[in-house]
Amino acid sequence: MKVEQVLEDLKRRFPNEPEYHQAVHEVLESIEEEYNKHPEFEKANLIERLCIPDRIFSFRVTWVDDKGNTHTNMGYRVQHCNAIGPYKGGIRLHASVNPSILKFLAFEQTFKNSLTTLPMGGGKGGSDFNPKGKSSAEIMRFCQAFVTELWRHIGPDTDVPAGDIGVGGREVGYMFGMYKKLAREFTGTFTGKGITFGGSLIRPEATGYGNVYFLLEMLKTKNVDIKGKKCLVSGSGNVAQYTCEKLIELGAIPVTLSDSSGYIYDPEGITAEKLEYVKELKELYRGRISEYADTYGCKYVAGARPWGEKGDIALPSATQNEISGSDAEKLVANGVIAVSEGANMPSTPEAIAVLQKAKILYAPGKAANAGGVSVSGLEMTQNSERLSWSAEQVDNQLKWIMSNIHENCVKYGTEADGYVNYVKGANIAGFMKVARAVMAQGII
Ligand code: NDP
Ligand code: 2IT
C-alpha cells in the first residue's frame, strides 16, 4: 500500500468529502508500515474494503412544525463494517451533517469499537435537521419521521444506533418508541435508552468519565497527579458536562466551556454547583453558554474557542476540527501537558503534528472517547440477557476497558525514544483486529 496513491484514488472516486479523506489519511499514515508487513492484505485489497463503507442509506425526512409548516431534511445511515459485530454508532442531528461527515465518523467508529474489546462493528447516521430552537413536539415528530425510514435497516443483531451531537436521552426515547411500534419487537436496537426501558446506568456519563479515566492512565506514565490541574474543556453538551463532573470529583479544576457561539473562562473553576446550572441550562432550557458568564460574572468570548487560555490539560469535547495548528501552538506555548479528545477528530492534522512534535501526551478520540460506545456495548449485553447491572458494575467495566485501550496504545505506539504515539498505537491496535476478521471471512 502507498498511502498517497490510495488517498488520491479515494479523492477521485469520492470528491468533496474532506472530513472523510482526513480521517482515512490519519489512519493509513500510521498503519502503513505494519500493513505492509502483510502481503496477503494487499492481495485481498483490504485497504479499499476497509475504507469504503459497506453501504450508505440516504432518504428524505418530512415533518411538520408547530405552526403547521412542512419541512424536508436528509436522513442517512452509513454502515461501515460489520466484521467483528453488528454495525454500531450514534446518530447526529446538526445542520452541518452530510455524507462526508458521516463517512468519517463511521470509519473512525469501526476502529474505535474494535479497541473496546466488545463485539461491535462500525456505523453512523444522522440528518441535517437543526434541533436548535425546536420544541419537544417538533423534535418528537422529526425523530418519528426519521425512524419511519431508518427502522427497516436496523435491528439488535444488525445495526444498533445511539446518540451523538443533538441526540441525547430524549431523542433516543422518541426514536426507540417509533422503532418498537414499526418493528413489533422490544429489543436492544438503540442504546442510550431511558433507565426505565432498558437503558444502562452510567451510559450518559460514559464518554466524559471514560475520557478522564484515559487521561489518568496517560498522566500515570509521567507520575503526574490530576489534582489541582487546570483543565480547558470545550463544548457544553453531554461529553463536556460529564468530563467536568469527573474532573471536579478528582480535584481537577475545569476553567472553560464553550458552544457554537463562544466560550466562557471561569478562573475560579467550574464547581459541582455551577455544573448543575450548566446541565439545566443545556438540557432543560437549551440556552447559550454566555448565560453562565452573566450568572457567575466571568469572562465570555463570542465567536472564539478556549485554546488561548492558560491551562494544564485540554479536553476538546465539542466537534471535529476545533483545534487548528495555531490553537495547538498556543496550547504548547502555555505549557499544556496533555490533550485528551472527547470529541471525534477535534484536532486538525496540523494540530496533531504540533502536539506530537512537542512530545506532550496526546490521545486521539478513537481511544479517549471510546467509553461512550463501550457502555453502549454493555447496554446491548444487558438487553440480551434481560438484566440490568449496578452503576458500580458498569463503571468498573468502563475503567477496565479504558485502561485496556491505554495499554494497547502503549504496546503498539511506543517509539524508539520512549514517546508514546497514541495515534499510531490506537490505529494499529484497532485496525489489525478488524483486518484479521475481514481476512478470515473471505472475499465478500
Ligand atoms: P451534544 O449535542 O450534547 O453537545 C455538543 C456540544 O458541542 C454543544 O456544546 C455544541 O454547541 C457544541 N458544538 C457542536 N457543533 C459545534 C460546532 N460546529 N462548532 C462549535 N461547537 C459545536 O453532543 P455530545 O456532547 O454528545 O458530542 C460532542 C462530541 O463528542 C462530538 O464530536 C461527538 O461525536 C463526540 N462523542 C460523543 C459521544 C456520546 O456518547 N455522546 C461518544 C463519543 C464521542 P451548540 O449547543 O451551540 O450546538
Ligand atoms: O462517537 C461515538 O462513539 C458515539 N457517538 C457513541 C456511539 C454509540 O453507539 O454509543
Ligand 2 binding pocket includes 159 (Cβ within 6 Å):
no
pLDDT at 378: 98
pLDDT at 241: 98
pLDDT at 284: 87
CA distance 371 to 377: 10
The C-alpha cell 512537542 sits at 358
Q: Which ligand is nearest to the CA of 257?
A: 1
Ordered domains of the chain (ranges, CATH): 3-186 (3.40.50.10860), 206-363 (3.40.50.720)
Dihedral sign of CA atoms 149, 154, 156, 160 in order: negative
> Number of C-alpha atoms within 13 angstroms, CB side, residue 398?
32
* Cα of 319 from ligand 1 centre, angstroms: 5
pLDDT at 212: 99
The C-alpha cell 490539560 sits at 313
Any catalytic annotation for residue 124?
Answer: yes
CA distance 91 to 103: 12
Ligand 2 binding pocket includes 372 (Cβ within 6 Å):
yes
Instruction: Say how many C-beta atoms besides its own lie within 10 A of residue 241's C-beta.
Output: 23
Q: Which ligand is nearest to the CA of 112?
A: 2
What residues in the chain have per-residue pLDDT under 70?
none
Ligand 1 binding pocket includes 236 (Cβ within 6 Å):
yes
pLDDT at 340: 99
CA distance 282 to 261: 13
* Cα of 237 from ligand 1 centre, angstroms: 6
pLDDT at 396: 98
Nearest alpha-carbon partner for 28 in 62, 52, 63, 44: 52
